Copies of this chain bind each other. A is one copy, B any other.
Amino acid sequence: MAIIVNVDVMLARRKMSSGELAEKVGISPANLSILKTGKAKAVRFTTLSALCKALDCQPGDLLEYQPDDGT
């Protein structure tokens, strides 16, 4: 899986709980969890925006590309 979603890092930095973030972002805790744990296969930009806003950060702080290997 090449795209890593790093919400936990930001959550820790902001000392915010998952539940609080879910509320601020306006998605269910269940769905936020899917995102957080790398089970999502896509993101809506509305959601990404809301995450960036709530966590006061940039997409680059949340998303990371990890090449599968040296290809």
Chain A residues within 8 Å of B, Cβ to Cβ: 1-3, 40-46, 48-49, 52-53, 57-61, 63-65, 67, 71
Across-interface contacts of A3 in B (CB, < 8 A): 45, 48-49, 52, 59
**Residue in contact with A46 in the complex, picked from B41, B61, B71, CB distance below 8 Å:** B41
- Copy number in the complex reads 2
Measured between alpha carbons, how far is A52 from B2 in the docked complex, in Å? 10
Query: 4 new A-B pairs (CB below 8 Å) besides A3-B59, A49-B65, A59-B65?
Result: A3-B48, A43-B43, A48-B65, A59-B59
Question: Which residue of chain B has its CB nearest to the CB of A5?
Answer: B45
Whether the pair B63, A63 counts as a contact (CB closer than 8 A) is yes
Q: List 16 A-B contacts (CB under 8 A).
A: A2-B49, A3-B45, A3-B48, A40-B45, A41-B44, A41-B45, A41-B46, A42-B45, A43-B43, A43-B45, A48-B63, A48-B65, A52-B65, A53-B67, A57-B65, A59-B63
